[in-house]
Every structure is written in C-alpha cells, then in structure tokens.
Chain A
Amino acid sequence: MKLAIQTKDFSFTYPKTKEATLKGINIPIYANKVTALIGPSGCGKSTLLRSCNRIHDVYPGNLYDGEILLYDNNGEKAENILQYKKENDLINLRQRIGMIFQKPTPFPMSIKDNITYGLKLSGIKNKTELLDRAEIALKGAALWEEVKDRLNNSAMGLSGGQQQRLCIARAVALKPQVLLFDEPTSALDPISTASIEELISELKNELTVLIVTHNMQQASRISDYTGFMYLGDLVEYDVTETIFLNPKEKKTEDYITGRFG
C-alpha cells in the first residue's frame, strides 16, 4: 500500500505552553484511503491535523519536533514538510494538502470566484479553463445542479450544507493529494451530513482523506483506518473495523463504548 503522509516522533508545542500538546506521534496515512482521528475533546486531533498543512504557522511561536513526511504521488519519495521555511514552500504544500473546517468558510465573493480562487492563486488565468474546472469541481461536489444558474451570486446566500460542499469543491478544484477535514459535519443537519459523507467516500478515488470526527458512527461508516488519541498521544491505530470491534487498548474500548469522553 502507498503512503501519503507519515509522521515520525512528531511533537508539537503551542507558544507559551510548557508541555508539548502532541507527544511523539507516529501515524501512517495511506494514499487513497480515509483515515479518521477520534478521541476526547482537547486530546490534540485538530492540532495534529493542522500540522499537516502547517496552518499553525499563520500564528507565530509554535514548536515542531520530529518529522512529517509527505510522499509523492507514487508513494516513493518523501519530503519532511517541517523543514519548509520559505513562504513559497508553504504555499506549494497547502496547494497539495487542502483543508476543510468545522464551520463552512465561504469567502466574501461570488460562488464562481470562490471555486476559482485557489486556481487563480496557482497561476491559471485562462477564463475558459477556470470555468471548466469550476464546473467539474461543482459537479464532483454534487452542487452543480443547485448553483449553475446563480454562479455570480454571493456564496454567503447558500445554505450551510451547500456552503460546506462549496468549500470542498473549492479545495478539490486544486487537485490536492490530501484533504484534511476537521469535524466537517458537526455544524450540519443529518441530510447535509449524509451528502458530505458520500462525497468523502467518492473522493478516495482521487485523493487521500484525513478526517477528525466526534461521531463514532461517522468514523466507522466512512474510514478505512482509525487513530485513537488521548492527551496528546496516539493510543491506538489500526484498521477501522479492528478499532471498533476488537480494540487492543482498554482506553480505546472505554472511549468507543462511551464510558468516557
């Protein structure tokens, strides 16, 4: 199996905190699979996710330690993304690894401009190419039929579920290798949630998904692998079925059976 990302003894410390928030994490993220991160609130799931595209660096003073290896498309050559220093390297990284947030984050511009935003940033200027790729991305996110007549309207006018699919389409349009999802459905109704879960399952064919979720059913429905985190450690990592049916660690079992967290 091909690797997309692998962390090696990865530790992370926020500014002005004495203790590391993540302590020596080793987790493989396989290509074209969905990997879920679960664990009680505050255990460091978001912190790990946000390290993978170095979005922490928007704020100063964070401390990274260890390695996060990002593999090429063949799963062979890898680079340690923690060594990137120049703004350009970070920009390239973020175009290879997209991110979807808990609350939908449409930009204050039209639907079309939202979709083509990343493409324009990456240097594509040709109008027809931009429109074509916007259409493909919107169709991929099952949003095309709903918005094709109002592409020039503000994206703020869409429903929450539509906005979240727009954000996914916007990220997918860049053809990233990996998409990071931080509780992408926790602000949505059940129907929107179902459509996003379906979307994530389809995305596997083209890219790798790493998703943080509080919803155990969701993790078991859509993920191939699951990591259980607790207090900044990766307690257990395995095939999703094993984690949910046959966990090795007592902590994991307690958590998934709802005894704490």
Chain B
Amino acid sequence: MLFNRFFRGLSHTSAWLVLTILFAIIIVLFHYSKSAIGDFGFFHFITNSKWIVGNDGNGGNFGGLIPILGTFLSSLIAMVFAIPIAMGIAIFLTEIAPEFLKAPVGIAVELLAAIPSIIYGMWGLFYFGPLLQSWFGGQSNSLLTAGVVLGIMVIPFMAALSRDAMNTTPSVLVESAYSMGATRYEVIKDIVFPFAKKGIIGSVILSLGRALGETMAVAFLIGGVFRFPNSLTSATISIPVLIANNFGEAGNLQLSAMFYMALILFIISFFTITIAKFYFLRKTD
C-alpha cells in the first residue's frame, strides 16, 4: 500500500518535472533573447541575411536567415539521403537477411549508431569532403558535405529504430498475407510497412531532430562561414554551429541574438515533432 503510493507519487513527480524543465528552458531562452527580439522583430530577423558586430563590440545588425537555411537544408539533404538507405537496411534485417546474418549485421548497425559525432566530423573533413569535392566541384566543406555526412550519421539510428518497428509486425499477419499468394515484396509493401508506419515515421522524426540539432559534425563540415549558400556545394553555417563558434566572445546584443536563434531552433524542432506526430496519429486511428 505504502509502496504503491510511493511509486505513484514518484512517477507523478517525474512527469511534472519533465514539464517544468521544458517550461524553464523556454523561459530562459525567451528572457535572454528579449533584447534581440525587441531590436529586430520576427520577420525582419528571419529574413535578414546579415550578421555584423557593431564597432563598440556590443551592438550590431544580426539576422537569422542564413543559419536557418543552413540548418534546414543540411537536415533536408541528410533526410533525402538517409531515408531510402535506412529503410533498405531495416527491410533487409527484418525480411530478407538469412538468419545467421541478422544478428551480426544488426549489432554492427547498432555499434555504428554509437559512434560519437565528432568522429563522423573528422572522417568527413579529411576524407569524405574532399571526395565529394572531386566529384561535384565547389568547396570541400559545404552544405552537401555536411548534409550527406549527417545523413550517414543518422542512418544506423534510423535503421535500427525502423527495424524494431517492423519487427513488431505479428508473424501471423505476415503468414496470412503469404497465404493469400503475396510475394515477399508485396508483404513488405502491404503489411510490414503499414503496420510499422507509426514507428517508422517516429524513427525519421527522431533522426530529423538529431540532424537539426547536431553541432560537432556540422561544425567540422559546413564551412562555418556566414555566407548565403548559392549552391549545394557552397560553404555556409547552421544555427548550432553559429552559436558554438561565437558564444565565447559575443557582446550583449550578439549574445541575445544567439539566444534568439536557439529559441527559433527549439521552436522548429518542437513543431517538426508535433506536426509529424499529429499527422501520423490521425492516420492510424
């Protein structure tokens, strides 16, 4: 009895704690970005492509367009690159691989997911970036390099989660489809995918969330220059990289502008997740 109440109390407290932290973060972000919001407004800020520190070191003209674009485009490239490959791996691991391969390949995928992002960053910087440059021209550190390496980075994560979702398809359902004369491809398309849809979309969203907020790998690879990306292969900057690169020596207004950027990143991730959840919840019910 006492135990029951204790655990109920604990779980309630924990649930509230999560909400409290969420609100605390929003409040802090808002508080510190107030002066930038006051100076630049919203539409002006997100359409302004300048980031100029004032002469006295404290003021300046700060706009978020370029880092917002950099964040969005690199994540978009990552998703376009990662989704088909991750789905292919997940399908291979659930439906196609012979039994003796499933476990070792599955473990390899999970190990890849555990590699710290800085290692992907170094690999991209010294090997993959120059390789992409030799194929497509442009700069070695660019939107494309950052996006593709981000994609490679989230593939194992996305594949492992999608595989887990696909594995939840009841085997009688799969057998039932085969017993109607379905081919393996039809079973995957008509049964496994629809059944695992929720989990698959979930895995894509979580991966997108990772890509949007990724700092280390992107810091190495996107170029880190505050410049409008004229092509896929030009160098630019993303929100987390901007913040990480300038946090140390920023003056008051620039600091506030960076908090403003953080707030925007927070809202973007929050809405991506909410909208997508709303979308697939409506689909399955």
Q: Which B103-130 residues have a C-beta within 8 angstroms of A? A: none
When distances are taken between beta carbons in the complex, the residues of chain A under 8 Å from B182 are 91, 121
Report the separation of the CA atoms of residues A108 and B99 in the bound assembly, to the nearest whole angstrom: 27
When distances are taken between beta carbons in the complex, the residues of chain A under 8 Å from B176 are 99, 101, 105, 107, 167
Report the separation of the CA atoms of residues A259 and B170 in the bound assembly, to the nearest whole angstrom: 36
Whether B194 pairs with A109 at a CB distance below 8 angstroms is yes
Knowing that A105-B175, A109-B190 touch, tell me 16 more A-B residue pairs with CB under 8 angstroms: A53-B179, A55-B178, A58-B174, A58-B178, A99-B175, A99-B176, A99-B179, A101-B176, A105-B170, A105-B172, A105-B176, A108-B195, A121-B186, A167-B176, A171-B179, A174-B181
> Within the complex, what minimum Cβ distance (angstroms) separates B179 from chain A?
4
> Within the complex, what minimum Cβ distance (angstroms) separates A125 from chain B?
15
> Within the complex, what minimum Cβ distance (angstroms) separates A140 from chain B?
17
Interface assignment of A95: CB less than 8 Å from any CB of chain B:
yes
> Within the complex, what minimum Cβ distance (angstroms) separates B181 from chain A?
4
Whether A94 pairs with B194 at a CB distance below 8 angstroms is no
Whether A58 pairs with B175 at a CB distance below 8 angstroms is yes
Contact among A58, A92, A101, A107 for B190, CB-based, below 8 A: A107
User: Quick one: CB contact mask for A78-93 with B, threshold 8 Å, 1 for yes?
Assistant: 0000000001000110
Whether A101 pairs with B175 at a CB distance below 8 angstroms is yes
Interface assignment of A103: CB less than 8 Å from any CB of chain B:
yes
Taking Cβ atoms with an 8 Å cutoff, the residues of A that contact B are 53, 55, 58, 60-61, 87, 91-92, 94-95, 98-99, 101-103, 105, 107-109, 117-118, 121-122, 167, 170-171, 174
Count chain B residues whose beta carbon lies closer than 8 angstroms to a beta carbon of A. 21
Report the separation of the CA atoms of residues A160 and B180 in the bound assembly, to the nearest whole angstrom: 20
Closest 8 CB pairs of A and B: A105-B176, A99-B179, A118-B180, A95-B181, A108-B194, A94-B181, A91-B181, A108-B195
> Within the complex, what minimum Cβ distance (angstroms) separates B90 from chain A?
18
Interface assignment of B183: CB less than 8 Å from any CB of chain A:
yes
Taking Cβ atoms with an 8 Å cutoff, the residues of B that contact A are 98-99, 170, 172-184, 186, 190-191, 194-195
> Within the complex, what minimum Cβ distance (angstroms) separates A48 from chain B?
15
Whether B173 pairs with A107 at a CB distance below 8 angstroms is yes
Whether B173 pairs with A117 at a CB distance below 8 angstroms is no
Report the separation of the CA atoms of residues A61 and B100 in the bound assembly, to the nearest whole angstrom: 12
| A50 nearest CB neighbor, chain B only | B175
Report the separation of the CA atoms of residues A101 and B180 in the bound assembly, to the nearest whole angstrom: 12
24 A-B pairs (CB sep. < 8 Å): A55-B175, A55-B178, A55-B179, A58-B178, A87-B183, A91-B182, A94-B178, A94-B179, A101-B175, A105-B173, A105-B175, A105-B176, A107-B173, A107-B177, A107-B190, A107-B194, A108-B191, A108-B195, A117-B177, A118-B180, A121-B181, A121-B182, A121-B186, A171-B180
Report the separation of the CA atoms of residues A122 and B186 in the bound assembly, to the nearest whole angstrom: 12
Report the separation of the CA atoms of residues A75 and B220 in the bound assembly, to the nearest whole angstrom: 74
| B284 nearest CB neighbor, chain A only | A108
Report the separation of the CA atoms of residues A7 and B223 in the bound assembly, to the nearest whole angstrom: 71
| A122 nearest CB neighbor, chain B only | B181
Report the separation of the CA atoms of residues A13 and B141 in the bound assembly, to the nearest whole angstrom: 59
Report the separation of the CA atoms of residues A91 and B180 in the bound assembly, to the nearest whole angstrom: 8
When distances are taken between beta carbons in the complex, the residues of chain A under 8 Å from B178 are 55, 58, 94
Report the separation of the CA atoms of residues A99 and B99 in the bound assembly, to the nearest whole angstrom: 26
When distances are taken between beta carbons in the complex, the residues of chain B under 8 Å from A91 are 181-183
When distances are taken between beta carbons in the complex, the residues of chain B under 8 Å from A171 are 179-180
When distances are taken between beta carbons in the complex, the residues of chain B under 8 Å from A58 are 174-175, 178
